[in-house]
Structures are given as C-alpha cells and as structure tokens.
Amino acid sequence: MTLVSSRQQQNTGTRDVADAARFELAPLEEWMSSHVEGFHGPASVQQFKGGQSNPTYRIDTESGSFVLRRKPPGKLLKSAHAVDREFRIISALYAADFPVPRPYALCEDDAVIGTMFYVMEYVDGRIFWDLDLPNCDPDERAAIYDSANATIARLHSFDWQALGLGDYGKPGNYFERQISRWIGQYRASETQPIDDMDALIDWLPANIPEDDSASIVHGDFRLDNMIVHPSEPRIIAVLDWELSTIGHPLADFTYHLLSWQMPPIGIGSIGLKGKDLVALGIPTEEEYLARYCERTGRSEIANRSFYAAFNLFRLAAILQGIAGRVRDGTAASAHAAQAEQAVGPLAELGRDYIR
C-alpha cells in the first residue's frame, strides 16, 4: 500500500499557473525556439506546486519537457532571487559531472516574460517531502541517505577556482558576512518583534568559530531539494541553488543536519527527531556526521552549538523573508503564509542552543 502524506500531496506535481505568476506564452516560445536546444513549440505551461521563492514551471512540448525558473514579479529584496547565479553554478557543476539538471539558457531580458529566467532540463525522478521516506524499505532508506551524504561531501571537495567560480563568492569571514546579511534581510521583512531573534542577533556575531574553511556551498541542502532516481536509491539531481556561494562547508553541512534536530514547526520537511531511526534504516545524526567527516577528511566537527544556533537563526530569517513577501503580495506558494508562524519556534530553539 502506498502512503501519501498531506505534505507530499501538497508539493508533488504541478498545478495551473497562479494569477500573480502568469506570463504570455508566445514571446517565451519564440525565445526558446532560438535559445534552447531541442525545443519545438507549441508549448503548454504548468507551475510546480513545491517551492515558494522563485516560481518554477514545467514547459511541455511534443519534443519533450523543460523547466523554467524565474525571479518572481513585484518588489524584491536586494540580492534575493538571483536566478542568474543559479544558472551560473549549475552550469559549472554540470560541466564537472555533478548531479544537477542540464542548463540550457539564461534570459536577462525582462521583456520576454516580465522577469529574468533560465531554462533547464526536466529530470524525471522522485522527490521526497517526508524525511522518513514512508514508501521505502530500510535498505533503500539507508542507501538514499548515504547517497545524499556522498553528494554533499563531493560538493564540498570541489576546487571551486578550477571550476571557474573564483569570483562566485568571497572566501573568508563567511559567518560574519552571513550573519550580517540575514540580520538585514530579517529586519527588512520583520512583521513583529521576536525576543529570541533579537537574542540570536546579539550573540551570534560574538561567538564565531576560528575555523575559516571555504568551499562551494548549496545553502539549502535538504532531501526535498534533491531528485532521487525513479527506481534506484541514488541522487540524480540537486535543485534550488538560489542561496549557493563560496562559503563555509560546515555551515552547509550542519544546516543539512537540522533534519535530525528539528521538531515539527508547521512548515518544511517533517524532521527525524523522535523517529525510530534504527527500525527505519536511517542513520543517526552522529553516524551521518561521522560518514561525512570520513569522506571529507575531517576528524570531527567542533562548536556544534554555534552552528545549530546559526542555522536556526538563518532559517528563521529566510522564513521571515517569505512572510514579508506574503505581506507585499509577491509570495509564490499557496502555503507561504505558514512561514511566519514558524519563525518564533525556530528562534526559540536556536536560543536554547546558545543557553
């Protein structure tokens, strides 16, 4: 029997394009005809249900399917929704045989559909919105998690300068810059005062670890941003590179570890906290961390309370940004209004770590 959770159902597949995200199809077809290899119109368009930052569409034609990802229309925060950066990073990683969709073309001309966008390959596979993988057996769960672990370890092992990404981010002082950035984003989107967020804003800049490693970082590496092969337990594509940069690999990996740390907060993946991981076949947080360290040549990860507090603060700031877009009428997901309700609980959990 196949079990489908409400979260899986809400986010899987496509729907009619939301009114706020509509565009004229004819100019897009004309542009794709001259810029996208293998495209032959006419085309039909549906909007993916999942995701709430950059509206993402499935473009279907007789010659095949494509994916279009765009900046949302309307007033946007500075530096947010950088689809041109997404296109650049997946182009570099695709050339290095890392599992990302094939990038076809970037359009910086707002006149085509109203905002900048890019077109990439449609990758057919499975996206799991529930971290306990309810329709898999224990061996398959173990293999999927090990594939995710190997994927992030490989990402952090790339020579980013050799990939042509020398100017993709600023190595060094990553946490200082990130904390400053997310404080700014949070304040710009703030809808109500939250004492726990204020406490994190005061504490984090004064407690940054001395380790100043640098690598490519995804910025939102979690299972529902990956496509698993239709029948095999391996990652075939990593999606949603909006937050990627040259940054600290431990920031990226410990954010991924939130999957094991987070209680249900009403938005995002249902975490693994409290689950019987042994029975499920899913590695414990410590086992998963040890395997990553083996793959990346680290002996351990120290200062984990800082990393946990930082990542919870950052996630709260991201969700507050979504709440701000709800306020401003530019959010792309029907479920984005839930984001604001999760900011307080995340900040409280982050503050528990600094206590």
Please work out, in degrees rounded to the nearest 5, the angle formed at the alpha carbon of residue 54 by the alpha carbons of 341 and 171.
Answer: 90
* pLDDT tens for each residue of 166-178: 999 988 899 999 9
Backbone φ and ψ of 189, nearest 5°: -105, 0
Q: Residue 24: its pLDDT value, please?
A: 93
Residue 189 has pLDDT above 50, yes or no: yes
Triad 248, 251, 253: Cα angle to 5°? 110
Write the pLDDT tens digit of every residue in 38-57.
999 899 999 998 655 789 99
CA neighbours within 13 Å on the CB side: how many for 4? 8
**Res 51: pLDDT:** 58
Q: What's the whole-number average pLDDT of the chain?
A: 90
pLDDT at 79 over 80: no
267 has pLDDT over 90: no
Angle between helices 285-296 and 138-157 (to 10 degrees): 40
Average pLDDT over residues 105-134: 95
Nearest by Cα to 56 from 94, 18, 90: 18
Burial class (CB in 10 A: 0-12, 13-18, 19+), 261: middle
Residues 6+ apart with CB under 8 A from 2: 135
Asked if 59 and 67 touch (Cβ cutoff 8 Å), the reply is yes
pLDDT class of 218 with cuts at 50, 70, 90: very high
DSSP state of 126: B
Q: pLDDT-derived band of residue 82, with 50, 70 and 90 as boundaries?
A: confident
Alpha carbon dihedral 86, 92, 95, 100, in 10-degree steps, equals -30
The residues pairing with 15 across neighbouring beta strands, listed in sequence order, are: 47
Please tell me the distance from the alpha carbon of residue 129 to that of residue 72, in angstroms, as a whole number: 23
Judged against a pLDDT cut of 70, whether residue 232 lies above it is answered with yes
Tell me the three state secondary structure of residue 9: helix
Confidence of residue 1 (pLDDT cuts 50, 70, 90): very low
Going by C-alpha positions, the residue among 97, 102, 206 that lies closest to residue 158 is 97
Q: Dihedral angle at the C-alpha atoms of 339, 341, 346, 351, nearest 10 degrees?
A: 140
Identity of residue 149:
N
Average pLDDT on 214-218 reads 97
Whole-model pTM over 0.85: yes
Beta strand 215-217 with 14-15 is: unpaired
E-assigned strands of 12-165? Answer: 14-15, 44-48, 56-61, 64-70, 103-107, 117-121
Which residue ranges form the domains of the chain, and what is each CATH number? 6-121 (3.30.200.20), 138-354 (3.90.1200.10)
In this predicted model, what pLDDT tens digit does every residue of 284-308 receive, in sequence order?
Answer: 999 999 999 999 999 999 999 999 9
| pLDDT attached to residue 324 | 77
Average pLDDT of span 180-205 = 94
- Secondary element (H or E) of residue 235: strand 235-238
Average pLDDT, integer, range 136-148: 98
**Is residue 81 within 8 Å of residue 116, measured between CB atoms?**
no
d(CA 219, CA 101): 17
Confidence of residue 246 (pLDDT cuts 50, 70, 90): very high
Percent of the chain with pLDDT over 90: 72
